[in-house]
Amino acid sequence: MSTTFQLDTSTSRANPTPAPMKRLTVPKLRKRKQDGVTAEPLVMLTAYTARQAQLLDAHCDLLLVGDSLGQVIYGLPSTVPVTLEMMANHGAAVVRGSYHAVVCIDMPFGSYEGSPEKAFESAAYLLKQTGAAAVKLEGGEAMAPTVEFLVRRGIPVMGHVGLTPQAVNVLGGYAARGKNDAEAEKIVADARALDEAGAFAIVVEGVLEEIAIEVTGAVACPTIGIGASAQCDGQVLVTEDMLGMFERVPRFVKRYENLAGTISAAAAHYAEEVRARSFPGPDQCYQSG
């Protein structure tokens, strides 16, 4: 039994009527890179809620429902404890809140590594539950057969090489990768394997700039950098990091706003008025007559 996803045309606060907009597709994004060159870099940000998706959608080519939600939303120490159900719930919210960008969902740790068949079961669940267009998984050459298995069965896959957060326990931390020849060669080989397996794009995270540039030139599909190089075919950041919601962020993050300070100041102002009994005022109260 198939599920048909329809746009909510209500005018509620949660689902305001969007301006007419045609959603991008995976093939269109893949074709942005022609003869090794992407004329206009791809823009990707993370999104975890419907409202966040509404605010970001018109500005992005892709919205990534990242397993970083484990840390950003749930306060977990890493992405490892994130579950398939968590990704499905947030993925569905982001799809409901977006009408333009391609929505891609991270496959959480333990949901795809066991076998290609297990990966297909997990990926099919995510796409059925959410209406998203694609999934993302971490790993290089070892995951290439799985990527090919999924793509051949109609599931678009984004790869992820370099610093792979789900492997933090093996890597021993979040330090940049590719600082020696062996690591650098493996990152390039991993990217080539994913490209040949049919990945429509590859995230390149936390690597030396020259390696990111080499990877971008070595693969036919677009690369999306995070802590990599402006010469990648696109860029992604965790939205909350970019908006200044946290005091500590990775070195490669640029803060475009300081929303943590704005929110804290607004809460302080609200608390002050409540304690002074100046809120609610006449404009916020219902009167008889």
Question: What pLDDT is stored for residue 156 in this prediction?
Answer: 98
Q: Return all residues near 13 (Cβ < 8 A) that are at least 6 apart.
A: none
Q: What is the pLDDT of residue 268?
A: 98
Q: Was 68 annotated as part of a binding site?
A: yes
Tokens of 275: 């304690």
Specify the pLDDT at position 174.
53
pTM here is: 0.89
Tell me the three state secondary structure of residue 202: strand
- Read off the tokens for 279: 């809120």
Name the 3-class secondary structure at 67. coil
Alpha carbon distance 89, 99 (integer Å): 18
Is 106 marked within a binding site? yes
Separation CA 135–CA 66 (nearest Å) = 10
Looking at residue 288, its pLDDT comes to 87
CATH number of 26-278: 3.20.20.60
Report strand pairing: 201-205 vs 223-226: parallel
Locate 270 and state its tokens. Answer: 């609200």
3-state secondary structure of 62: strand
Q: How far is CA 240 from the centre of its chain?
A: 12
pLDDT, averaged in runs of 10, over the chain (289 residues): 41 53 91 88 97 96 97 94 97 96 97 97 98 96 97 98 71 63 92 98 95 96 96 97 91 93 97 97 89
pLDDT at 282: 92
181 annotated as ligand-binding: no
Q: State the burial class of residue 26 (Cβ atoms within 10 Å of its Cβ: 0-12, 13-18, 19+).
A: middle
111 phi and psi angles, rounded to 5 deg: -100, -5
Query: For this structure, is 257 an active site residue?
Result: no
At 4 the pLDDT is 39
How far is it, in rounded angstroms, from Cα 229 to Cα 207? 9
pLDDT of residue 145: 98
Per the annotation, does 138 bind a ligand? yes
Burial of residue 23 (number of CB atoms within 10 Å: 0-12, 13-18, 19+): middle
DSSP 220: S
Catalytic annotation, pick one of 183, 196, 205, 257: 205
